[in-house]
Chains A and B, each alone.
Chain A
């Protein structure tokens, strides 16, 4: 068992502080949902942990398996087992999903070690079957011309293939109709297990009808202001975010 520990994290974009002292521990096997109004720093949190160069960590630490990851480049963090499912995944024209994943898998091998292509495809097809993804899907260029649902399924497939220890899922439900949402949630539930810790960022409760979280945190103005279980999400749904704003605006 491992854990992703976020300690008193402060994150700035340029001079502007967005995350203002956030602490959270995610253990393997747990699903944490972070909810909150728009512009409260949820996506910033995810990108900063993943090592996006535009985000500066001004204070605090992030530990994975007991080791600080803040001195690592984004790709080192990824290879160490951190995955970010993007809210807006980039298109990579001319590069098929199969080749992209192959390069990503190859990048995880020791130097000089050759990827076993046959085993790779066998594993890829097994994961696609598991997630009920059509075989033709991986011949398409990464995210190019994809619908919202296809983009998110592509993220889930990558997560399945790269088998991270911790996955940060940024607004996985955004831009999805109810059918797409259900399919994507099914995929996440399939991958859920004792070896994976998930931080799920969402604005809406409806995703949590399909992926039942172990913990729910309310984020506001760069901090976690309230934590609880699934019932907290329902409370938010019923009351909206206004009470959060009222209660914590002064703080």
Chain B
């Protein structure tokens, strides 16, 4: 009940906003920024060398990048199963690296004014003071600011950007880097591996439970830019951490590309919760590979909320590698006019008594299109594995489209799988009923949508569920013109 209250409570005044930038109109601005480092337009071996050089990387990383570039070039676009819209990405017109420098500042005072004002406008420093254990604020290719509260740092928690992680902690980084998601996993993981920059590197030592969330904020400021952050989170035995990411970009007339790779490793008994509220402007191609490995009795939970972007293709996965490991994906997608949210989940069971749970809810409005793709794999030799999958789609007006592609392969007879799917509509009678109580058509729709995702939204930290509601209100207002 308390959580339901949260959803319908009035939006806080702007200064109270804990996770800014979710409001798309608020993210739609850009400042003229002077970039000291610019890899130019287009992608070839020289681009990779440029990025590697400015980062002063070790030879093995440079080599890793070059190999990845070759794989990227050799792989076809996955348009035989995915949307043809991918073919509209022109890799030769993208800028692959833009930054003012490679070392993030530890205090906001040191962050150059032209970048600082962006994050201030998005409310990041304020949230940091209020409820976060640490913040990384990435501006185009590099983090402009990165800091962790002393009390957390003293426990041995490492929270830096990937550039710094590679430089300062190669012994941990190299051991796990690229192991969960190999370069050749797909065309976009290969692209990221060639030109990655920014993203977070987190290590939580044995038994340390980080009480407050760590947050990263990804901001695209430049036009024709591609953002390729790389995140690696390792929770050592018995450790616990929650990571939240938010993102915005201004709406340019040309398309922007965001292609991240996120790898999670939860060692024995560890817990990682990864929360995304994706609100890119709706000209952004958002093609992201996210996967975690859960060892014995470990737990990985992805809470993935996609509201922005032109096209999102993202299927967070968990490889359940150790006995009694648990994996969960909670997915909310909202596709408005001109958007395609192609989202889902992958659960790869690789040990006995592993359990996975997928709950996906999508909302399609107007011409918006949402697609659920799920993979659940339980091989024959395992026993005592369980999967539960629920996919619910809500259609608002007759033009919207929704597709569900669940692929569940369960071998053997000692495992348990359950799958449920539903499609429902917000019908005219429901809207009229609510209007008759005094709600405008937009308010009525947003209430219907909030009701639809209510059971999932309550799993979000409170600050996020309030924001989510506010964002849905805005989207629905727009949808009825």
Contact = CB atoms under 8 A, between A and B. Distances in A.
A114 interface: yes
B314 to A, nearest CB: 25
Contacts of A115: 10
A162 B438 contact: yes
Given A100-B447, A104-B439, A162-B438, A89 B433 contact: yes
Contacts of B9: 117
A104 B435 contact: no
Given A53-B428, A94-B453, A95-B454, A75 B10 contact: no
A106 B437 contact: no
B451 A93 contact: yes
A82 B10 CA distance: 25
A234 interface: no
Interface string B13-37: 0000000000000000000000000
B452 interface: yes
A50 B434 CA distance: 12
B15 to A, nearest CB: 15
B430 A90 contact: yes
B8 interface: yes
Contacts of B221: none
Interface in A112-140: 114-115, 117, 139
Contacts of B444: 75
Contacts of B429: 90
Interface in B429-458: 429-430, 432-441, 443-444, 447-448, 450-455
A228 B358 CA distance: 63
Interface in A88-113: 89-96, 98-104, 106-108
Contacts, number: 96
Nearest to A78: B438
A79 B439 CA distance: 8
Contacts of A79: 438
A74 interface: yes
B82 interface: no
B4 interface: yes
B348 interface: no
Interface residues of A, number: 38
A74 B432 contact: yes
B437 A94 contact: no
A1 B447 CA distance: 34
A104 B438 CA distance: 6
B413 interface: no
A205 B434 CA distance: 30
Given A100-B447, A103-B447, A139 B452 contact: no
B391 interface: no
A162 B455 CA distance: 27
A73 interface: yes
A75 B5 contact: no
A51 B436 CA distance: 8
A234 B455 CA distance: 50
Interface of B: 1, 4-5, 7-10, 424, 427-430, 432-441, 443-444, 447-448, 450-455
Given A75-B437, A93-B424, A106-B10, 19 more contacts: A50-B436, A51-B435, A73-B440, A75-B436, A75-B440, A79-B438, A86-B436, A89-B433, A93-B451, A93-B452, A95-B8, A96-B1, A96-B4, A99-B4, A103-B439, A107-B440, A108-B438, A115-B10, A158-B437
Interface of A: 50-54, 73-75, 78-79, 83-84, 86, 89-96, 98-104, 106-108, 114-115, 117, 139, 141, 158, 162
14 contacts: A51-B435, A51-B436, A53-B432, A75-B436, A78-B435, A78-B438, A90-B433, A92-B434, A95-B451, A100-B437, A104-B438, A115-B10, A117-B9, A139-B4
